[in-house]
Structure 1
Amino acid sequence: MFAHNDRLALLVSGLGPLGRMPYAQGTWGSAAAVLIAPLVFFPLPLWARIVLLVAVFVVGAKAADRTEKILGRKDPGHVVIDELVGQWITLLPFAAPGPFELIAGFFLFRAFDILKPPPVRASEHWLPGGYGVMIDDVLAGIYAGLCLVILAWLRGA
């Protein structure tokens, strides 16, 4: 898919310029995912959000795989499309989250993505190449989403 267009692979895997930020690229990618979700993710019905997540996962994995080859590094900081998928998985249970859910979801996902509790860290090796880059953020998103649902329930939302 990206074999002949390295610039496109870098653009997609880095979510445009975010992958080239001088520091905390993953945090910038997560923040962007939260900011654009009300425009492109939440308006969709649940089934369409799931289809979108699968499509972004597959395209992101292929772009991440090519980016690893271009940059000569495993899971380079440049790749932030995985943060978008993980962040949106965190928010998936909510049709129209309020500010509390958006902010808490952001911090919960970042915590699980950085700390990588079992089996999140191990999952990076379950799949080859770009799919391995993406899968740990899927699991971090599932953990964060479960915690966010519990927090929302405790708040009575």
Structure 2
Amino acid sequence: MTVQASAPPAAIRANSSFMLAHPAHLLAQGFGSGLARTMPGTFGTLFGWLSFNVLSSRWPGIFTPENWLLIVAVGFLIGIPACAKTGRDLGAPDHGSMVWDEIVAIWLVMLFITPTSAWTQFAAFLVFRFFDMVKPQPIRHFDRTIKGGFGVMLDDLIAAFMTLLVFAIWRVL
């Protein structure tokens, strides 16, 4: 008698019922922004950008730069198990609907480039999306070698740092 290993579950389509079935899904899927039919990563990044600006302007005493740094760190840490669980439940470790990594990463970018104009923030949004989508080295290396929730979160954090590097060089020149 031979024992067959069970195959991993096939990737399923993410929807609002799936997202609302567990708090990890809700977080990993960016409170619904990751459910966009096309370019969910872009919609997640847009949600992150807009939420950063709304929260910072609405409650400036709470959403200070120091608190944002803490929010980004905690968001990164809770994103690891949330993305790991959601990826397992979807049958795809880095499912496209998981956008918490983009949200946390764009918060970090916005934290270090603000205060600035909406046009500069838009440019940062575009540069970040470029790095996140194209995944040039070293992002590609980490995306391919580090798996699970930590890998999902890490490659976007590196894309955020590369975006900030571009802006630092731009400001010097």
TM category, shorter: 0.7 to 0.9
Offset from partner CA, 1:12-58 (integer Å, 9 cap, x none) = 10011112111100000011111111133574333322211110001
1:148 CA drift (Å): 2.2
> Partner residue of 1:86?
105
- Residues 96-115 of structure 1: matches in 2 within 5 Å? 96-115=115-134
Q: Which has the larger radius of gyration?
A: 2
CA RMSD of aligned residues (A): 2.0
Provide TM-score, normalisation by structure 1: 0.86
Identity %: 29
What TM-score does the superposition give when structure 2 sets the normalisation length? 0.78
Q: Quick one: distance in 1 between partners of 2:144 and 2:134?
A: 16
1:89 aligned partner, one-letter code: L
- CA drift at 1:151: 3.1
Alpha-carbon distance in structure 2 between the residues aligned to 1:16 and 1:46: 23
User: What is the one-letter code of the residue matched to 1:31?
Assistant: L
1:139 aligns with 2:139: no
How far apart, CA to CA, are the structure 2 residues paired with 1:119 and 1:146? 13
Residue pair 2:33, 2:43 contacting (<8 A) in 1 also: yes
**Partner deviation per Cα, 1:92-135 (whole Å, 9 max, x = no partner):** 22342211221001000000101111110111255441011000
How many residue pairs were aligned? Answer: 150
